[in-house]
Amino acid sequence: MSSEKSVSKALAQTQKALFFRFVTVLLTCLFIVQVVIAVLLLYRMQINDIKILSSMGAEYQRILTFNGPEKLTHVVVENPERLQENNIAVFKQDPSNPAIFHYVSGAKLALPESEVADFPSKIAHAESSKPDGHNSQEESWYQQLITQSFLTLPLVAKRQGYIMVQPIFSDLSAVISEWLRIGLALLVLAVISLVFVWRLIHSTLSPLFVLARQLDDASKSPLESMSNTLDFVQNANRDDLSSINRSVNLLLMRLHKIIKSMDDTVNAIAHDLRTPLSRLRLSAEKGLLTKKEDENGAQVMKEALADCLESSHQADQMLTTLLKINDEVAGRLSPKFSHIDVNATLLRVAGWYEETAEDHDIQLTVISHPTSPLLTDEDKLVQILVNLVDNALKFTPKGGTVQLAYSEQNNLASLSVTDSGIGIPKDKHALIFTKLYRADESRTAEGYGLGLAHAKAITESLAGQLTVESEVGKGSTFTINLVKATSK
């Protein structure tokens, strides 16, 4: 199974898992909210019923106390609408038998016998607890919901008792209707939220699907086409999951460079090392075929050994430089950063080549000016400068000039080596940084064509760039561009 299919399948499952987890959390929260809303609605209804019952009870108690039972009976009988609207019934105690209560007016309630049997005790309790016979609701609202089915309010005066009765859920249908309307609104809001969350999760994970396709393409494509992933690297947004694509693409590019470097090394060993190895073999054969007794035989054998030594030294230097380049590309030689005085470094490197420049009648100068310390690896920087200065002196004729300079612009530090030498054709500017390439096709100049490749690898390990500007017959300028660390 390809990486795209497997990763895409895993991402799809992850997307569904995240969505279903959100659905579960959302439904749980919705259920909890609905329970809380139901409790609040019941509480509001209960408090409202108690207020209405207490308000009407206080009014009726005043009528009973100051105007007598006949007046109260007349009021509730002639005006039953208010009682019916609030689902309240009024019962009157029989004067001849206090255990019997007669319906007077209000809502028609089906009271259980156990509730009616408690009326006398409630009237007696009201008479004993209140001088005016008014009995307040002593239990809390939730206790009443649990322990009672009806709210009762006794009214007593001059041994004449009335009792007002109201169901605990006086208007339960209205509460249920309101609860359902709120639940429906929350459900619609939840569905809209789920649609947006699904799209959000899909859009958030989309860079990972792109990454899966890129990995699959990279695994199936030739090594050279791996660099095409850079197109996405440049457009990646570092603030979202696209930064993962960018990091993976940079890793692919680094692997590509390492593998390319190893491939170049193998090619170098297969081609350019053949010359010293062939010379080594021919010199050895020549020495073996020469007899010591022959005329000048000892001298011939000595020269053969010298050729073998020179060829082996050449091969050793070439292999050592190739390995150093590979180590730089692979990141095995990590930079050791420290703040340095660049002007002092340039003067030190130039001092090493003063005698060589004088011998070749070349003017070697350093342009120095006050600068801030540069955070870099001085040893690696010196290696680059040595390669560049050595090349500049090698390809500059007598009477020429070689100049080392340093400049700063914004957040960029630039070190340059400029010569008035033979120059490099424009079509060769990119090739001179490849391994074993030599601009001097006649191979009359010393070297193996590895110096600039090594310098470029070191510069990149310092997170910098090595560029060249050159024109045939007018000289060359090699520039090392390094990013300066900003102070926080």
Per-residue confidence band for 43, with pLDDT thresholds at 50, 70 and 90? confident
375-380: average pLDDT: 88
pLDDT band for position 307 (50/70/90)? confident
Percentage of the residues of the chain whose pLDDT score is greater than 70:
68
Cα maximum dimension of the chain: 164
pLDDT, average across residues 48-67:
90
Query: What integer pLDDT is reported at residue 151 of this predicted model?
Result: 86
Q: Please indicate whether residue 169 or residue 155 has the higher confidence score (pLDDT).
A: 155
Q: If you average pLDDT over residues 68-73, what whole number do you get? A: 89
Of 155-159, 267-271, 300-304, 357-361, least confident by mean pLDDT is 267-271
Task: Name the band, by pLDDT with cuts 50, 70 and 90, for residue 448.
Answer: low
Mean pLDDT of 230-248: 57
Regarding pTM above 0.85, the answer is no
pLDDT for the residue 98: 84
The predicted structure's pLDDT at residue 318: 65
> What is the per-residue pLDDT for 94?
87
Angle between helices 451-461 and 378-394 (to 10 degrees): 150
pLDDT at position 210 is: 74
pLDDT of 137: 47
User: By percentage, how much of the chain surpasses pLDDT 90?
Assistant: 18
**pLDDT digit string, tens, across residues 264-294:** 666 666 566 666 666 767 767 666 666 665 6
Which of the four pLDDT bands, split at 50, 70 and 90, describes residue 228? low
Lowest mean pLDDT among 93-97, 126-130, 224-228: 224-228
Residue 450 DSSP label: -
Examine the pLDDT at 141 and tell me if it is beyond 60.
Answer: no
Crossing angle of helices 342-352 and 378-394, rounded to 10°: 40
d(CA 429, CA 457): 16
Domain ranges across the chain: 3-173, 336-488
Name which of 117-121, 305-309, 330-334, 354-358 the model is least confident about.
330-334
351 membership: H or E segment, kind and range = helix 342-352
- 121's tokens: 């005790």
pLDDT at 131 over 50: no
Give the relative orientation of helices 451-461 and 297-330 as an angle to the nearest 10 degrees.
20
* Lookup result for tokens 């390995």: 323
Q: What is the CA radius of gyration of the chain?
A: 50
- Counted residue by residue, the chain has a size of 488
pLDDT band at 444 (very low <50, low <70, confident <90, very high): very low
Instruction: Give tens-digit pLDDT for 379-428.
Output: 888 888 988 998 899 889 998 999 999 988 888 888 899 999 888 888 88
Per-residue pLDDT at 128 exceeds 60: yes
Contacts of 418 (CB under 8 A, 6+ apart): 392, 401, 402, 403, 405, 475, 476, 477, 478
431: Cα separation from own chain's centroid: 39
Mean pLDDT for the stretch of residues 64-79? 90
Q: Quote the pLDDT of residue 233.
A: 46
Number of H helices, E strands in the chain: 15, 11
Q: Tokens 């649990």 — which residue?
A: 146
Average pLDDT over residues 426-441: 68
CA dist., res. 445 & res. 430, Å (int) = 20
Q: What is the CATH number of domain 336-488?
A: 3.30.565.10
CA distances from 273 to 282, 287, 322, 406, 442 (A): 14, 21, 11, 38, 17
pLDDT, mean of residues 451-459: 82
pLDDT of residue 185: 93
- The neighbouring-strand residues paired with 282 are none
pLDDT on residue 488: 43
Predicted pLDDT at 135:
41
Burial state string for 34-56 with b = 16 or more CB within 10 A and e = fewer than 16: beeebeebbeebbeebbebbbeb
